[in-house]
């Protein structure tokens, strides 16, 4: 039994490495933007498009990848995904301008959009009922390990650049090295995928029964594998009595209406509480507190470390405590944390004194001399004044230093709010959504249904990421975070009413319980 368990964990970890690459890509761009924005003189909309363009591609990849994996197979799709990740990393590092950069990143978006859908489906299909929650949660663990690795990589590369300990790093190429690092885990992912089997449930659907039984017995042992095989065959035999082909409109028929509603709710709430805004713009958010650019990079490491630790909490508790309690506690904590961030930014004031002015570059000192007697009660007025005095490119390139000189606030409140948000997300919406999506839908519709919910998840993610720079410019830091907090609060009460519990049951048992004729 121990060897079987190790084998299942090994398979789940490899398959979910696509999540690691997603997390790495999401976090790496938060550091890259500090250098790309002034180099390419990006507008506000372009600053939103570079981080969000992969998400735009991902939502369409999510829509079709589930069904594509039904046709081609889970393993073959994962190999295509790994190759696409590597191609995106290479092209991103060699980007010669704004357009090449976002196109290269969109290629990566296709990869991680498909990976986020197919990996939990595959893992659920090779897992036993009692271990499924923690095994599917490995995808979330890999995502947050990717975040941690990226923030760590960014920190060391940025530190090497700012400390002038290396002669080859410049403003023009430091971000290229940040992006190029992703090529290494992408190639490793591609190689390791050759060591995982095909999905047994997919093999049964393709009527390759002998091969499917062999996979199940190899993973779970003869007794458990044979029992699982008979259960799957019986479920598929009953499903095949219905001669109708799988069609998209079938998702909206009465039997699937409840599980689809829950799935859509989970898919949208996971993103509209602001998770990708925090991860994609983490360095920028910490800079807004006035702690400085170097400290902002270091805070990113603390953020990602928190995510890793609380993802382990989720893996430990999800099959013991259950999906519903974890999600409700986490969403409640997300609401409180985001409201705390909003309060912290609301109390901030901004003023550049004569003393603080001297800490800035001489060319900036001259242009800001006339502002030393002014104080601003909100970040919007202050930043508009800076943009008028310095121009967008100069201000963006020196934003960390200017905010460090001018901001008067309690940065600990925002740091506590961000870390609280990340911790609560890591043990609730992060892993629970993907676990429940892999459980809610019947075998025949699983790929199609998760693809559709994944599309809505990706659309929400793209909208949040694209809109975040605009929200900060238009509404300011405080209102932006207050909005995320209110959304999470509404989500808590909705799921308090409708969220089912799915722990401890086989996929076939859940199908009988949740799919009502």
How do the domains of the chain map onto residue ranges? 2-196+256-346+412-514, 349-408
pLDDT for residue 35: 84
pLDDT for residue 14: 92
Note whether 14 and 108 are within 8 A (CB).
no
pLDDT for residue 1: 38
pLDDT for residue 238: 64
Tens digits of residue pLDDT in 423-478: 999 999 988 888 888 788 887 777 778 878 888 888 888 888 778 878 888 888 88
Note whether 311 and 431 are within 8 A (CB).
yes
What is the C-alpha separation between 124 and 435, in angstroms, rounded? 8
Secondary structure of the chain: what % helix, strand, coil (to 5)? 80, 0, 15
Name the strand (E) or helix (H) holding 393.
helix 392-397
Note whether 18 and 189 are within 8 A (CB).
yes
Whole-model pTM? 0.72
What is the C-alpha separation between 125 and 136, in angstroms, rounded? 10
Q: Confirm or reject CATH 1.20.1250.20 for domain 2-196+256-346+412-514, answering yes or no.
A: yes
pLDDT for residue 89: 92
pLDDT for residue 164: 64
What is the C-alpha separation between 285 and 322, in angstroms, rounded? 33
Helix (H, G, I), strand (E, B) or coil at 167: coil
Name the strand (E) or helix (H) holding 407.
strand 407-408
Radius of gyration of the chain (CA): 24
pLDDT for residue 287: 67
Q: Which regions of the chain are under pLDDT 50? A: 1-4
What residue has token string 């905010």? 403
pLDDT for residue 79: 93
pLDDT for residue 85: 92
Tens digits of residue pLDDT in 189-229: 999 999 988 888 888 888 888 888 888 888 877 788 788 78
């Amino acid at each position: 039994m121990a060897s079987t368990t190790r084998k299942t964990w090994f398979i789940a970890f490899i398959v979910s490495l696509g999540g690691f690459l997603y997390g790495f890509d999401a976090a790496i761009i938060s550091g890259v933007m500090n250098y790309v924005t002034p180099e390419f003189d990006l507008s506000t909309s372009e600053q939103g498009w570079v981080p969000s363009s992969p998400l735009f591609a991902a939502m369409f990849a999510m829509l079709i990848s589930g069904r594509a994996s039904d046709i081609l197979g889970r393993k073959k799709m994962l190999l295509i995904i790994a190759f696409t990740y590597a191609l995106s990393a290479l092209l991103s590092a060699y980007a010669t301008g704004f357009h090449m950069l976002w196109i290269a990143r969109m290629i990566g978006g296709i990869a991680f959009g498909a990976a986020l859908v197919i990996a939990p489906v595959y893992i659920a299909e090779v897992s036993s009922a009692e271990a499924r929650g923690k095994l599917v949660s490995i995808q979330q663990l890999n995502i947050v390990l990717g975040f941690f690795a990226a923030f760590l990589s960014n920190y060391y590369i940025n530190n090497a650049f700012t400390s002038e300990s290396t002669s080859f790093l410049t403003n023009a190429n430091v971000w290229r090295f940040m992006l190029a690092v992703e090529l290494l885990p992408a190639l490793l992912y591609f190689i390791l995928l050759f060591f995982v089997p095909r999905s047994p449930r997919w093999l049964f659907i393709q009527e390759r029964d002998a091969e499917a039984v062999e996979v199940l017995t190899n993973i779970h042992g003869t007794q458990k594998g044979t029992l699982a095989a008979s259960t799957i065959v019986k479920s598929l035999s009953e499903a095949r009595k219905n001669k109708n082909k799988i069609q998209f409109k079938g998702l909206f028929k009465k039997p699937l209406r409840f599980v689809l509603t829950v799935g859509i709710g989970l898919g949208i709430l996971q993103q509209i509480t602001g998770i990708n805004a925090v991860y994609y713009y983490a360095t920028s958010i910490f800079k807004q507190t006035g702690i400085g650019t170097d400290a902002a990079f270091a805070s990113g490491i603390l953020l990602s470390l928190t995510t890793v630790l609380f993802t382990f909490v989720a893996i430990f508790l999800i099959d013991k405590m259950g999906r519903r309690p974890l999600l409700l506690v986490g969403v409640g904590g997300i609401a409180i944390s985001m409201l705390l961030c909003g309060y912290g930014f609301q109390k901030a004031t901004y003023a550049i004194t004569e003393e603080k002015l001297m800490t800035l570059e001489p060319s900036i000192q001259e242009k800001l001399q006339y502002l030393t007697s002014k104080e601003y009660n909100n970040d919007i007025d202050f930043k508009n004044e800076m943009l008028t005095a310095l121009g967008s490119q100069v201000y963006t390139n020196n934003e960390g230093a200017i905010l460090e000189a001018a901001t008067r606030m309690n940065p600990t409140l925002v740091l506590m709010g961000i870390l609280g948000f990340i911790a609560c997300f890591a043990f609730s919406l992060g892993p629970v959504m993907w676990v429940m999506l892999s459980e809610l839908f019947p075998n025949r519709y699983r790929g199609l249904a998760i693809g559709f919910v994944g599309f809505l998840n990706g659309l929400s993610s793209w909208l949040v990421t694209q809109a975040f720079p605009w929200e900060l410019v238009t509404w300011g830091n405080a209102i932006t975070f207050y909005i995320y907090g209110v959304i999470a609060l509404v989500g808590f009460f909705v799921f308090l009413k409708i969220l089912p519990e799915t722990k401890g049951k086989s996929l076939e048992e859940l199908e009988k319980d949740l799919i009502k004729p």
